[in-house]
Every structure is written in C-alpha cells, then in structure tokens.
Chains A and B, each alone.
Chain A
C-alpha cells in the first residue's frame, strides 16, 4: 500500500475516531452478558480500530500505537487465559472449564458468570492479536 501518500485530514479524522471505536469495543466485550456482543465481536472491533490507524498513517507511525511484534504474543496470551480459566477450575476441585468451582468466593451462578467474563476477555485478546498479525503479514510480504 505504498501507492498513495497519507493525508493530514484522513490522519486527523482516524486519530479522533479510533479511541471511540476502542471504547465501544470494550463496552461490547464487557456488556456481552446482557446485550448482543461478546469476545468475538469486541475483539474484531478492536482489530478494526488498530487497522484504521495503519491504513491512514502507514506502518511506520502505527508502530507507536501497536508494535508489529505484539500481535502473535497477544494471541498466545488470549489462548493461555482461556486455558488458565479451565485449569483454575480444576485446581478448585471441579472438572476442566467448570466455572462453578473457581477458587473465588461467591455462589455457583455468580461464579459461572464471572468465568464467562474471563473467557470472553481471553477470546477478545486472541482475536485482536491474530487479526492484526494477519494484516501485518499480508502488508509486509514481498514487493508489489
């Protein structure tokens, strides 16, 4: 995507819009219990906000916001959060991914709600890391 020059107005508008998209994405992840939404949708919207800056300002400036080397580790952290929630339920005495046995105080139904929240955060982190990583790989590959 080196065929055009980045424009000041486009950079200004996308810099203004990107934080609001991220805020709405976080709302979608954390309010997914009560309204349509959840980890997949919120993670994809976060990835869209990151890619918006990359499209408008180019790779060099976008490194300041989200470095290129951060994508795959963030995806791995998301997968590990998911596995870690399951293993924590095992440590509490239940079976794998049985959130009622998480080692936290509270009733079984509230613990299940909390476990769902952890899992959604893990899914969201994995999706944003992997999608940004795929975009970077496609953009950096070879000459045109």
Chain B
C-alpha cells in the first residue's frame, strides 16, 4: 500500500484526531470552566464521528429495510450497531452536561468566579479562615 493511498483512505481519521486534540486542548489548557465544558462537548462529538465513520461501507444505503433492496445481503446496508450505541450516547451526554451546568451555577453562587486559579485561591483562603477560627475557639 503506497503512502498516498494510505493517507487518502484514512482521511476521516485524521480530522477526528484533529478534533480530539482540540477538545483535549480546551479541557487542559483553558482556565475557564465554561471553556472546559465546550472542550468536553467537542471531544464527545469527535468520538461519535469516529464510531459513525467506522460504520460506513462503500455502496451501501441507510439502515432502513427497503422492499426493492431486500435484506438477504448484509453488504447493502450501513452497519446499524454503531448508530444505536451513539444514539444513546448523545442523549446521555446532554443529560450529564446538564449536571455540569448545575455544578457551574452552584460554584458561581458560592465563590463568585469561574476561573480555575482564582477559585483555588479563594477555596484555600476560606479553608485557612475556618482553621483559624477553629484554633481560636
């Protein structure tokens, strides 16, 4: 297999790698929690694109049984198993992202910031104040 053929035959995977790296970049380099959640969403979409693109077959049609095509030959339909798994993953993703938003709102209500270093600083100061109060009492 030549190098060009290998590169062109895998083109979807290179874009998926780019999206995965972008999502991870948002999660570990950005300091704002909303940006971290956006990075998590991009990572999730990249994983879903990887699964869907592994289900593609050349010359196949969408997985809805058609009388004109018939169901005897399994090569005529796209692989439906990955579609099912990713369908549930998307809906579970939005429900768990809702829990993430709830945590963000709670953090902002308590500490008035969404920046990670500032949040750590304020938590440390609050803990020291509590310890000092405990020592005095």
Contacts and interface: CB of A to CB of B under 8 A. Distances in A.
A contacts B: CB pair < 8 Å: yes
B95 A134 contact: yes
Contact of B101 (A35, A36, A138): A138
Contacts of A141: 102, 105-106, 109
B109 A142 contact: yes
Interface string A80-104: 0000000000000000000000000
Contact of B102 (A36, A44, A137): A137
B91 interface: yes
Interface in B103-123: 105-106, 109
Interface in B68-119: 87-88, 90-91, 94-95, 98, 101-102, 105-106, 109
A35 B87 CA distance: 15
Interface residues of B, number: 13
A49 interface: no
Nearest to A135: B98
B91 A40 contact: yes
Given A35-B64, A130-B95, A134-B95, A142 B87 contact: no
Contacts of B98: 131, 134, 138
Interface size grouping (class) on chain A: 10 to 19
Contacts of B94: 131
A44 B91 contact: yes
Contacts of A138: 98, 101-102, 105
Nearest to A34: B64
A127 interface: yes
Ranked 10 nearest A-B pairs via Cβ: A134-B98, A142-B109, A40-B91, A141-B105, A138-B101, A138-B105, A40-B87, A130-B95, A138-B102, A137-B102
Interface of A: 34-36, 40, 44, 127, 130-131, 134, 137-138, 141-142
12 contacts: A40-B90, A44-B91, A127-B91, A131-B94, A134-B95, A134-B102, A138-B98, A138-B101, A138-B105, A141-B105, A141-B106, A142-B105
Given A131-B95, A142-B105, 15 more contacts: A34-B64, A40-B88, A40-B91, A127-B91, A130-B95, A131-B94, A134-B98, A134-B102, A137-B102, A138-B98, A138-B101, A138-B102, A141-B102, A141-B105, A141-B109
